[in-house]
Amino acid sequence: MNITVFCSAYSLDDRYSAPAAEFARLLGTGGHTLVWGGSNAGLMGLLADQVKAAGGKLVGIQVELLKHKTYPGADELVLTRDLAERKAQLLARADAIVVLVGGLGTLDEITEVLELKKHGLHDKPVVLLDTEGFYTGMRVQLERMDAEGFLPRPLDQLIAFAETPAEVFTHLTTA
């Protein structure tokens, strides 16, 4: 399976990086391909290192603007002109999307994927790994949208929440 992952480009505390590394090992040992932003920075670089070490393949979708931060060992590297084209490629190359902890870049990516899914423009599984309750606030907001009529489809048809790396794969294999 080609699994597109959105996650932080910054180096983070062990309580965030250890679950990300475990997720990456499961992805690699499961024979999957990591599709990601193609960077060597922070959690993005750690993820790529761990997937590669576990025998998985790497497809980087890097943007021209950040090409100086490109991960050197990807099996395939795509260079896009801008962030919009990169987001389109990250989705197009995915069989499923997984979201790890991240900042504004990650938030931008997940919002776009959910908005396109909301409109029926794709129906790929989206799983969010909620490490250390990092996404509690976002989940509360999404559940309120769901409960109060802001979404055209039930929230559980748009996204699944996992608390452990193993649970991410349970969602992906039953989706």
Ligand X SMILES: C/C(=C\CNc1ncnc2c1ncn2[C@@H]1O[C@H](COP(=O)(O)O)[C@@H](O)[C@H]1O)CO
Which residues in this chain contact ligand X in the complex, by CB under 6 A? 6-10, 37-39, 41-42, 44, 62, 66, 69, 102-106, 109
Q: Are 43 and 102 in contact (CB under 8 A)?
A: yes
**Which CB sits closer to ligand X, 62 or 165?**
62
For residue 126, the minimal CB distance to ligand X (Å) is 14
As a whole number of angstroms, the distance between CA 146 and CA 156 comes to 9
Q: Which two tokens stand for residue 13?
A: 């505390």
**Which CB sits closer to ligand X, 110 or 172?**
110
- Output the CA angle 2-125-16, nearest 5 degrees: 75
**Which CB sits closer to ligand X, 93 or 151?**
93
For residue 111, the minimal CB distance to ligand X (Å) is 12
For residue 148, the minimal CB distance to ligand X (Å) is 28
**Which CB sits closer to ligand X, 104 or 154?**
104
Amino acid at 21: A
Q: Which two tokens stand for residue 88?
A: 């389109």
For residue 101, the minimal CB distance to ligand X (Å) is 8
Question: What are φ and ψ of residue 27, in 5° steps?
Answer: -65, -45
For residue 99, the minimal CB distance to ligand X (Å) is 9
**Which CB sits closer to ligand X, 93 or 146?**
93
Q: Which residue is nearest to ligand X (CB)?
A: 105
As a whole number of angstroms, the distance between CA 101 and CA 9 comes to 10
- Range list of β-strands (E), 47-111: 57-63, 76-80, 96-99
